[in-house]
Structure 1
Amino acid sequence: MQMNSNNQKPTFDWRNFKYKNIAVHVKTQEEYDNFMKECKVQGLTWCTGKEVDKLNLWPDCAYDTCIVHDNSVSAQRGLHYQRLGYYKRCGYEIEEFADFYFPKDYQPLNSNSNLIPEEQIELLEKPTTHTLKLEECFCEAVVTGKKCFEIRKNDRGFQPGDTIEFIPVSNGHPAIHVISNRRYRITYVLSGWGLKNGYVAFGIEEVKRYD
């Protein structure tokens, strides 16, 4: 790790970020804005292919926001974001944005609040909430956490951060189950790798009330 003589901070290692399991924790809107600026300089984009400075996703996870780069051979290559606790559980190395020096083009933005700038309001894309039917025989496994994934036809453009509301059914007819009162968040989306063309597998976790 290289130290910068100007401020005695280590220089951020982009190679490690791009090719290793490293999550960058951006705990303020200002840190997020500046990290996105540096990601753009590096030619990185979101996993959806969208430019990093066209979306403000920080409010979704706020001070828990972490950014990772997926370099695997999949349709989801690029930047992903999720809560700090999620990447800790997945074994990622957590790097604090504030602990590093970003050379050359790094110019801190003057941001004194965590509010979304007015000029970004039209560009902000909130995660989508999907309502999905779920056979009653699977409901209990999802509620207890034993089944933490779904395999679905990707006709809705499922993305990490989207929320799921399940409608319990039995042989296609409405059923009663506590899962209908719960919400889940998509944590990861995978396509290919043995999945039928047009289908995806995605991880889910329950959205707690305090989230």
Structure 2
Amino acid sequence: MNGTFVYHHLKIAPVFYRDVVSGKKKFEIRVNDRNFLEGDHLILQEFENGKYTGNEIEVLITYIPNFQLLDDYVVMGIEPVEGPSKLPQEIEVSEYLEEAE
């Protein structure tokens, strides 16, 4: 780890979100389109039926193995930085996209 890190905001399905929150799921497998690095933080935002639920958890990338996976996928070891949180309101995808523009 180099002392600097990035926050990556990612969607996560409810079944996987629950497993991260419970501590059962200690890894993420993703397309490495963001150049994930050990020490970066993931903000995993629960996403269901086309909208964000408002539930999110921040995790730290603790380990990335040094081997090539197919189609530029990456396996990341993760651990929670803090417990899950609930955003003040549910966000419709269309509203989120409008805010991003």
Same fold (TM over 0.5): yes
Determine whether 1:168 maps to 2:63: no
User: By how many angstroms is 1:161 displaced?
Assistant: 0.4
Amino acid at match of 2:63: Y
Distance 1:175 1:135 in 2: 10
Q: 2:34 aligns with which of 116, 131, 156?
A: 156
The unaligned stretches of length 5 or more in structure 1 are 1-45, 47-54, 58-125
Distance 1:204 1:171 in 2: 26
Q: Normalising by the residue count of structure 1, what TM-score does the alignment of the two structures yield?
A: 0.36
The answer (yes or no) to whether the contact 1:186–1:203 under 8 Å persists in 2 is yes
Distance 1:187 1:201 in 2: 11
The alignment's C-alpha RMSD in Å is 2.0
Identity over aligned pairs, percent? 38
Q: Looking at secondary structure, tell me which structure has more helix per residue.
A: 1
Aligned length: 82
Aligned pairs for 1:49-88 (under 5 A) are 57=3
Distance 1:162 1:149 in 2: 14
- For residue 204 of structure 1, what is the aligned residue in structure 2? 78
Q: Looking at secondary structure, tell me which structure has more strand per residue.
A: 2
Amino acid at match of 1:203: G
The answer (yes or no) to whether the contact 1:136–1:175 under 8 Å persists in 2 is no
Determine whether 1:141 maps to 2:15: no
Flag the 1:203–1:172 CA change in 2: closer, same or farther, 3 A: farther
Larger RCO (CA under 8 A, 6+ residues apart): 2
The answer (yes or no) to whether the contact 1:127–1:162 under 8 Å persists in 2 is yes
Runs of 4+ residues deviating >4 angstroms: none
The answer (yes or no) to whether the contact 1:152–1:200 under 8 Å persists in 2 is yes
Q: 2:58 aligns with which of 161, 164, 183?
A: 183
The unaligned stretches of length 5 or more in structure 2 are 84-101
Distance 2:33 2:74 in 1: 10
